[in-house]
């Protein structure tokens, strides 16, 4: 369900936004809606990636090391 909102913008900003929207063949309202959707989507993706990265850090990474056999280190 779509809802309308009211924004207060500087008159020069609104003028520039109208020109930009016209150049893109859309309305200021649609231009703002698309940008807000992108902003929210990017933020959600960032939070998800951050959560996953922190989870991996909490688990730790196995780097293939281990304790070497002492006798094999001193073989001649």
Q: What is the pLDDT of residues 6-62, one digit of tens each?
A: 999 999 999 999 999 999 999 999 999 999 999 999 999 999 999 999 999 998 877
Q: Name the CA dihedral angle for 12, 7, 27, 34, rounded to a multiple of 10 degrees.
A: 110
What is the residue range of 53's domain? 29-58
pLDDT attached to residue 22 = 98
The DSSP string of the chain is ----------HHHHHHHHHHHHHTTS-HHHHHHHHHHHHHHHHHHHHHHHHHHHHHHHH----S--PPPHHHHT--
Number of domains in the chain: 1
Residue 76 placed within a domain: no
pLDDT attached to residue 64 = 78
pLDDT attached to residue 63 = 80
The answer to whether 21 and 30 are in contact (CB under 8 A) is: yes
Residue 24 placed within a domain: no
């Amino acid at each position: 369900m779509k809802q309308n909102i009211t924004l207060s913008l500087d008159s020069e900003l609104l003028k520039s936004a109208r020109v930009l929207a016209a150049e893109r063949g859309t309305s200021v309202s649609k231009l703002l809606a698309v940008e807000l959707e992108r902003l929210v989507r990017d933020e959600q993706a960032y939070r998800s990636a951050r959560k996953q990265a922190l989870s991996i850090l909490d688990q730790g990474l196995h780097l293939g090391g281990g304790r070497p056999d002492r006798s094999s280190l001193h073989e001649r």
